[in-house]
Chain A
Amino acid sequence: MIFPCHLQELAEKGKKSLCPSNPKISIGLATCGRSSGALDLEKKLTARQSWKSEVLVGGVGCLGACYAEPLVSLRTPDGRYYFYGFHGQADSNSLWQIIRAAEGVPSTRYLLARARERQPGTLQGIQDLELEKVGDPGFALFFKAQARRITGRCGLINPESLPEYVATGGYSALARALFQLQPEDVIAMVAASGLRGRGGAGFLTGKKWELASLSPDPERIVIANADEGDPGAYMDRALLESDPHSVLEGLILASYAVRASRAYVFVRHEYPLAVQNLRRAISAARAVGILGKQILGSGFSLEVHLVESPGAFVCGEETSMLRVMTGKRGEPYLRPPYPSSAGLWGHPTVVNNVETLANIPWIILHGPDAFREVGTEKSPGTKIFCLAGDVKRPGFIEVPLGTSTRAVIEEIGGAAPSSIKALQVGGPSGGIVPYSDFSLDYESVASLGAIMGSGGLVVLNTNRCLVDLARHLVDFMARESCGKCLFCRDGLAELEAMMTSLTNGEARSEVVLAELEELSKAVADMALCGLGKTAVNPVLTSLKFFREEYEAHARGKCPALTCRPLINFEIISSQCRDCRCCYLVCPTDAVKRRGGRELYAVAQEHCIKCRACYETCPFGCIKITSEGRL
């Protein structure tokens, strides 16, 4: 194995900062950490004068356990890690816990877990850590079912540090490819691994590269698509904020494989931190000769440019993205020609999702057979999911494809199975499916009428109205469509109007449901691009699996008791203790005081269904009803 000597130097340097001989405090400074006050912790810790040379304080990315943010880990010189999670309470108390721990008195109060490096002084990723003691059982369960292959460095290394990335085995795949493999070999390896596009559609990555590499045009382009717009999905963001170099390495490998001389990263401008980390990663790589002319002294040269997306959902669709990059309006166009035969400026262009690219270095290092060890026959490897919604432990997880939903939601997410009604898989173009034990791989999800999508997984409990959720998603798509074709623009708007008539009680009969289904199918048939074709998935799947909810709404009844125009508040006088809470809290004076046995009653004509009385009543004697039209 040829390992260029300056990579060796970088690795040594990185090792010193990863596993120093002083105590080291690492604070999770990705967006999720920042939103729960991590920056404040960092400021206070770095300001401690007395620590000048004793304790190191640094930032890392996202460990994935977003539910416990802000996350702080402490590494003692003997290779032990103390993971602390403050569950949104970054106050002076938590600050003192960290300070005392760093000074040698580890507290157990916010301790999630204690782990040890298997061989003190070596750390390649989370797989090198051995759990010693569990502080919070949930934290251990959260990681137990996961297989953190490409997110192994997230939350352990400083995303802005190239040496730390190299020390954890980074860029060795690149060195291997450049000096030992031909571009054709790289393509063959990726094809043999069976890696499928992680952006949602699941096209075989090796095949895509092969198409581009067979083009007669010598000028080829690779684009990393990081324009992630799905509500509830943030895997690209987490990767770029926590481990930007792995994406960059994948991008360089992809460019080498198809012999491209130019590569682009297309990032949403709503991801300022990801953009900043990526810019730093690119310039750091250029400074040490990993990008630019003659990479690492080989004969391969590459320039990487960062393009900020204008920030519309449709710009993440690959054809629309290519238009945007040439300075035009983000309107998709019909494929074929596919970008891999004629894309940006007419040159063959490989467009890969960020997560797809992050898989490439792993495949080159460990080989396609090792890659196939996890996952299913047709969907090998691992997939990052973003667990959100009604679960105890939402976060950023990586599991083998084909993992059962039960393992993900109940073990990792910690949700009680009895409370869950449905899952929303694959963002607004995915589907709303009933919660059952199915395998999370491309085929199984497609057989339910949803798509794998980018990997958003929203858990919905019994208090969520699925008609209203589907309406919200269709509304999102109707606003975010490019507006070129009638069915996607006006058809979706029409669907949204129909769904609104259901949720506000204007729908008069079940004829509306047949109409909803007809129009949804027409939109799927007639829309010109993937956005329109999949925008109706939430409606079609929820109609298929939860038709009774729609029927109830058509009768003016909301089973989940959330659609305001369809619900009423009643006070059960037998339990009322006359505490006056509801009377005082009501903003519209709808709670009237009566004489006699019935102390209070809600005057329906004044009630604005704000739920204030329901949430305030200490005795639980307010009931929400939804009678419907008989």
Chain B
Amino acid sequence: MKRVEVIIDNQVLSVRQDIPLIQALREQGILLPSLCYHRLLGGYGSCGLCVVEIYTEAGWRPRHACLLQPEAGLQVKTNTPTVLRLRARAARLLLRRGPFPKKEVEELLGHLVQKGEKTCFEPDDKEAAARSRAGNPAPGCILCGLCVRICEKIRKSRLTFLGRGKNLQVSFVSAEEEAAACGSCKACQRICPTGFIEPSAREAFKARLYK
């Protein structure tokens, strides 16, 4: 297990090199918020909450911590105004996909929005929020892909993404011997960050296919 020295918020830390930066920092007790990262499934870069700034040739640039591999001498900042602002933006966009069954998700996102607000004032447009929610076929799902990936990982592959762009949704793939194939393992239900998958993936994703 190779370790490298990276510079996090002006402190030199020695972290593991073979895992994504977000995980390496977690092991050091630096917790970056994230809703789409899971250590068994690797970085995916969907939710945008784990944003950090790293030093590149072109100056400080925002990056997803879950998609970065630690390398020697990497300079990272996790708390700059830019980072907080981008995090607040991501949180705001995620909240539009609510309301979420798990209240702690709402709280976390609300908190992140507030932290960003100190550095930038944004008008909260209630009407626009209501409008974008109205067009959402599955309120409560943030399309983080964790359920799709875990289902694939355990070789069942009963979930898939359907469509693209703003019409993207997760969908259940029916098969002939459904009872035998799905509904018992609950892996997706346990991994879902927002509590959307209730009572089962089949119910959660099938019912909304053609709405």
> Of A314, A334, A483, which is in contact with the most chain B CB atoms at under 10 Å from its CB?
A483
By the criterion CB–CB under 8 Å, are A490 and B166 in contact? yes
Q: Decide: A492 near B166, CB < 8 A? Known: A484-B145, A522-B89, A526-B62.
A: yes
Q: Mark B121-155, 1 if CB is under 8 A from A, else 0.
A: 01100001001100000000011010000000000
By the criterion CB–CB under 8 Å, are A483 and B168 in contact? yes
Q: Is B24 an interface residue (CB 8 A)?
A: no
Interface size classification for chain B: 35 or more
The residue of chain A having its C-beta at the shortest distance from the C-beta of B161 within the complex is A329
Q: Decide: A489 near B64, CB < 8 A? Known: A483-B143, A519-B89.
A: no
Q: Is B201 an interface residue (CB 8 A)?
A: no
Contacting residues of chain A (323-355) with chain B, CB-CB under 8 angstroms: 329-330, 334
Q: Is B164 an interface residue (CB 8 A)?
A: yes
Q: Mark A494-517, 1 if CB is under 8 A from B, else 0.
A: 100110010000000001000100
Contacts of A101 in B (CB 8 A): none
Contacts of A329 in B (CB 8 A): 160-161
Contacts of B163 in A (CB 8 A): 483
The residue of chain A having its C-beta at the shortest distance from the C-beta of B97 within the complex is A490
Q: How far is the CA of A490 from the CA of B128 in the complex (A)?
A: 13
By the criterion CB–CB under 8 Å, are A526 and B123 in contact? no
**A interface size (C-beta, 8 A):** 33
By the criterion CB–CB under 8 Å, are A518 and B90 in contact? no
By the criterion CB–CB under 8 Å, are B46 and A484 in contact? yes
The residue of chain B having its C-beta at the shortest distance from the C-beta of A480 within the complex is B165
Q: How far is the CA of A497 from the CA of B129 in the complex (A)?
A: 10
By the criterion CB–CB under 8 Å, are A526 and B48 in contact? yes
By the criterion CB–CB under 8 Å, are A487 and B90 in contact? yes
Contacts of A487 in B (CB 8 A): 48, 89-90, 93
By the criterion CB–CB under 8 Å, are A483 and B128 in contact? no
By the criterion CB–CB under 8 Å, are B45 and A484 in contact? yes
Q: How far is the CA of A491 from the CA of B44 in the complex (A)?
A: 18
The residue of chain A having its C-beta at the shortest distance from the C-beta of B49 within the complex is A486
By the criterion CB–CB under 8 Å, are B90 and A486 in contact? yes
Q: Is A617 an interface residue (CB 8 A)?
A: no
Q: Is A482 an interface residue (CB 8 A)?
A: yes
Q: Is A485 an interface residue (CB 8 A)?
A: yes
By the criterion CB–CB under 8 Å, are A528 and B143 in contact? no
Q: How far is the CA of A477 from the CA of B165 in the complex (A)?
A: 8
By the criterion CB–CB under 8 Å, are B128 and A526 in contact? no
Q: Is A103 an interface residue (CB 8 A)?
A: no
Contacts of B165 in A (CB 8 A): 477-483, 489, 492
Q: Is A493 an interface residue (CB 8 A)?
A: yes
Q: A99 → chain B, closest Cβ, in Å?
A: 51
Partner of A485, one of B45, B85, B89, B97: B45
Partner of A493, one of B62, B94, B166: B166
Q: How far is the CA of A477 from the CA of B164 in the complex (A)?
A: 11
Q: How far is the CA of A519 from the CA of B142 in the complex (A)?
A: 19
Question: Which 7 residue pairs of A and B lie closest in terms of their CB atoms, listed nearest first?
Answer: A483-B168, A493-B166, A479-B165, A490-B93, A481-B165, A486-B48, A478-B166
Chain B residues at the A interface, C-beta cutoff of 8 Å: 44-48, 51, 61-62, 64, 67, 85-86, 89-90, 93-94, 96-97, 120, 122-123, 128, 131-132, 142-143, 145, 160-161, 163-168
- What are 8 A-B interface contacts by the 8 Å CB criterion? A479-B165, A482-B164, A486-B48, A497-B128, A515-B123, A526-B48, A526-B62, A526-B86
Q: A478-B165, A511-B123 are in contact. List 20 more A-B contacts (CB 8 A).
A: A481-B164, A481-B165, A482-B164, A483-B161, A484-B46, A485-B48, A486-B90, A486-B93, A486-B94, A487-B48, A489-B165, A489-B166, A489-B168, A490-B94, A491-B93, A492-B165, A494-B132, A497-B131, A515-B122, A515-B123
